Structure 1
Amino acid sequence: MPAPLSIWVVSDGRAGIENQALGLAEAVQRLTPAEIATRRIRWRAPFDRLPSALKTRAMLAPSDAIDAPWPDLWIATGRAALPLSTRIKGWSGGRTFVVQTQDPRWANARYDMIVAPAHDGLSGDNVFEITGSPHRITPDRIAQAAPAFADRIAPLPHPRVAVLVGGKSKTFDLTPAHAADLADRIAAAVRTAGGSLMLTFSRRTPDAARAAMTARLAKVPGWIWDGTGDNPLFAFLHFADHVLVTEDSANMAAEAASTGKPVHVLPMIPLKPAGKFARLHDDLRSRGAARPFDGTLAAWTYEPLAETDRAAQAVLEAMRAR
């Protein structure tokens, strides 16, 4: 039997960054025998602000080893990995296939493949566009997460509404007043439908907005996760009949669309033109996955997005072709 494909997932270790590369690696592993190892890297303080072209391995802070034997497949994401992603082919004698997720915005021709969100508008012979970014959400994974939270969620009445709330960014704001208004609209929709709520906030949710929403929704049947204990996000997605997501996060909307559940996009306060977020939401609407939240819980069906799996297939095909 041939040896399993060796895959390195390379990032600075931040969960939101690492999960993109890890999700793609796991999708490859679902298609072919493979062994996945993570490599979390940091640059020493005197060098971390240097341009990528000037950084060398000697400047790395103590972290996971970046040494031979080199992997068959290198999947990296984030700016911290770029100085290594552009050099790994030389170190491996050209054997390692190099994939970078997102738009590297530097030395784009030096990667074998860039898996980029279509809403970024990136082009090139080595660019493979997908709706949203690679992620780890699959039907099997969210189903596996469900039993640990079933006692809390299974008794909740249908329709169960998962609400994923983001926060302030360069493009959007979530003021306490707007958060309270959103909460009132969500509460009215859930009560009218006779359903229940499953709400989770992100790390970016302002404390005042979190408090405003929690106060307005506290009496709605359901569960508002307060951040303590194991994260129930995957279980929320499994048990949900509808998913509501704030428009500030491209990842949340695309991940929710992988469930096949109706995705309702919650408006936020714009600070500047929505740009890529508007393009992503247009893409999701064109695929039947998402609609703007209109205060009701209308149901619809669509083919669940499987963009991470599609990208993984493209990676393997490109490796075979090389």
Structure 2
Amino acid sequence: MRAIRLPDPPGVSVSHATPEIFDRGLSTVVRRAVIIGNGAAGAEHQSIGLVRALGLASSYTIYRVDRPTGEFNRWLRWLPLGIHKKIDCLVRHLHLVWWQRFATSLGFRLQSQKTIGISSAGLSGIEAADAKKLADLANLESARNGPLLVLAAGRDTVSIAESVKKLAPGATFVVQIQHPRRCLDNFDMVITPVHDYYTLSPAARQEAPRFLIPFLTPHQPPDKRVVLTVGALHLADPSMLRSAAETWHSLLAPLPKPLLIVNIGGPMRCCHYGQDLAQELASKLKRVLSSCGSVRISYSRRTPAKVCDVIQRELGDLPNVHIFDGTGPNPHLGHLAWGDAFVVTADSISMLSEACSTGKPVYVLGAERCTWKFRSFHKSLRHKGVARNFTGLEDISESWSYPPLSDNAAAAERVRAALAERGWSLAS
């Protein structure tokens, strides 16, 4: 039967234009993003950096995975989130039952969990990530506001992200940042550094015991849904650095040039070191001080106290050397904006990725102490000419440059292309 269009009622103006969510021809417009975080700044900053690269910096909301904390739970963080929560619930229940019986035997009545010091983990004002609620939000709002872009980073977020995709496949585009170590079909896109696939290389096969090889992940080469980056995604995009340059202008602009920024992380399983590396760093920095106008040193959350003590003892009293003690606003982005060269310890892929995105000289300390995929990462930086080993013989006043790492922009372009294949586009 042929459809007949009725005339508009008298005195009433009815718009027959295409709804706003289809305002780019036949393309559905993605206007909102949800970030599923794990409480770790390094992981959440990767998601925020991608949101900014996609132009949705003012249209995203963060939810966080509520992993149990405190008491015995610090020994259970290696477990998958769902199993950890079930064990935590069981232990708390048994604990409460035991206390109830104990209190009853003494003639008391237990009123609540608070009586025995049991409290649930807080989220610091950020709502807990619940897969069903997020899926319901996407399904209910998709017709009016368009589909939802979901970004997750970190091991604890994997199960939530894949559940959202399963519950709302037509109303979401789910991106998992960092390799999820499970079936890639559970996500619309996976963004991960190329060194995560080091496990498939011939070198890795020689390093790992043969009986462990079947258990190594990933098991297969990346497919079309996997986007490989050189380093980690991050917040230090040009817009953010311009803003940081203005914020820190009064403090950092007057410093004598060149300004050398030193970022110190902390030892990891694949990058072992301690006071020995701190002593090596201090000795090498003393050798390059004559070619520096000023030096600013900062630590990460993982930096051991014994490393900080060595740096403070060896360099704390030297002129034109400032060590950030953690009090007051963090100058990290200001350092990236105003620094003329960088020395970064080899353990921090995030800090190295940020520094290498500036196009300024980057020197790595301790790369020879790293193994497994960290060694592969450092090799790729040297191969691209974006970083060099720190020897202590450098003339910091002699600058050198390279095409900056642009992982954020490259990943954002792949997301746009994948959305276009689905008939979706991003709001401008």
TM-score (norm 1): 0.89
Q: Which SS does the other structure have where 1:7 is aligned?
A: strand
Deviates more, 1:296-305 or 1:309-318: 296-305
Residues 1-322 of structure 1 mapped to structure 2, 5 A cutoff: 1-2=20-21, 5-29=31-55, 35-43=59-67, 51=80, 63-64=127-128, 66=130, 67=133, 68-70=136-138, 72-121=148-197, 123-191=222-290, 193-218=291-316, 219-267=318-366, 270=369, 274-295=371-392, 296=394, 297=396, 298-322=398-422
Instruction: Using the TM superposition, give the Cα deviation of residue 268 of structure 1 relative to its aligned residue in structure 2, in angstroms.
Output: 6.2
- In structure 2, what residue type is equivalent to 1:10? I
Query: Which digits, 9 at most, give the CA deviation of each residue in 1:135-162, with x for residues without a partner?
Result: 1111221221223332322222111101
Question: Measured at CA, do residues 181 and 61 of structure 1 come closer, stay the same or move farther in structure 2, by a change above 3 Å?
Answer: closer
Query: Which digits, 9 at most, give the CA deviation of each residue in 1:197-255, with x for residues without a partner?
Result: 01111111111111111222221404211000000011111111101100111111111
How far apart in 1 are the matches of 2:286 and 2:77?
46
Query: Which digits, 9 at most, give the CA deviation of each residue in 1:89-123, with x for residues without a partner?
Result: 23224321111011110222211111010111162
Q: Is the 8 A contact 1:5 1:34 kept in 2?
A: no
Question: Measured at CA, do residues 299 and 126 of structure 1 come closer, stay the same or move farther in structure 2, by a change above 3 Å?
Answer: same
Aligned length: 316
Question: Measured at CA, do residues 181 and 92 of structure 1 come closer, stay the same or move farther in structure 2, by a change above 3 Å?
Answer: same
Instruction: Using the TM superposition, give the Cα deviation of residue 74 of structure 1 relative to its aligned residue in structure 2, in angstroms.
Output: 0.8
Q: Which SS does the other structure have where 2:227 is aligned?
A: strand
Q: Is the 8 A contact 1:41 1:61 kept in 2?
A: no
Q: Which SS does the other structure have where 1:229 is aligned?
A: coil
Q: Which SS does the other structure have where 1:280 is aligned?
A: helix
Instruction: Using the TM superposition, give the Cα deviation of residue 53 of structure 1 relative to its aligned residue in structure 2, in angstroms.
Output: 7.5
Instruction: Using the TM superposition, give the Cα deviation of residue 61 of structure 1 relative to its aligned residue in structure 2, in angstroms.
Output: 7.2
Q: Which SS does the other structure have where 1:186 is aligned?
A: helix
Question: Measured at CA, do residues 283 and 177 of structure 1 come closer, stay the same or move farther in structure 2, by a change above 3 Å?
Answer: closer
Which ranges of structure 2 fall in alignment gaps of 5 or more residues? Answer: 1-19, 22-28, 90-119, 139-146, 198-220, 423-428
How far apart in 1 are the matches of 2:196 and 2:79?
25
How far apart in 2 are the matches of 1:49 and 1:247?
24
Instruction: Using the TM superposition, give the Cα deviation of residue 64 of structure 1 relative to its aligned residue in structure 2, in angstroms.
Output: 3.0
How far apart in 1 are the matches of 2:226 and 2:177?
10
* 2:201 match: none
Question: Measured at CA, do residues 186 and 306 of structure 1 come closer, stay the same or move farther in structure 2, by a change above 3 Å?
Answer: same
Q: Is the 8 A contact 1:10 1:38 kept in 2?
A: yes
TM-score (norm 2): 0.68
Q: Is the 8 A contact 1:52 1:82 kept in 2?
A: no
Which ranges of structure 1 fall in alignment gaps of 5 or more residues? Answer: none
Query: Which digits, 9 at most, give the CA deviation of each residue in 1:251-297, with x for residues without a partner?
Result: 11111100111110012673xx5221221122222222101112213
Larger radius of gyration: 2
Percent identity for Structure 1 against Structure 2: 32
Question: Measured at CA, do residues 93 and 103 of structure 1 come closer, stay the same or move farther in structure 2, by a change above 3 Å?
Answer: closer
Q: Is the 8 A contact 1:197 1:220 kept in 2?
A: no
Question: Measured at CA, do residues 312 and 34 of structure 1 come closer, stay the same or move farther in structure 2, by a change above 3 Å?
Answer: farther
Question: Measured at CA, do residues 53 and 225 of structure 1 come closer, stay the same or move farther in structure 2, by a change above 3 Å?
Answer: closer
Q: Which SS does the other structure have where 1:172 is aligned?
A: coil
How far apart in 2 are the matches of 1:109 and 1:289?
34
How far apart in 2 are the matches of 1:168 and 1:48?
19
How far apart in 1 are the matches of 2:81 and 2:284?
47
> Which structure shows the bigger proportion of residues in strand conformation?
1
Q: CA RMSD in A?
A: 2.7
Q: Which SS does the other structure have where 1:29 is aligned?
A: coil
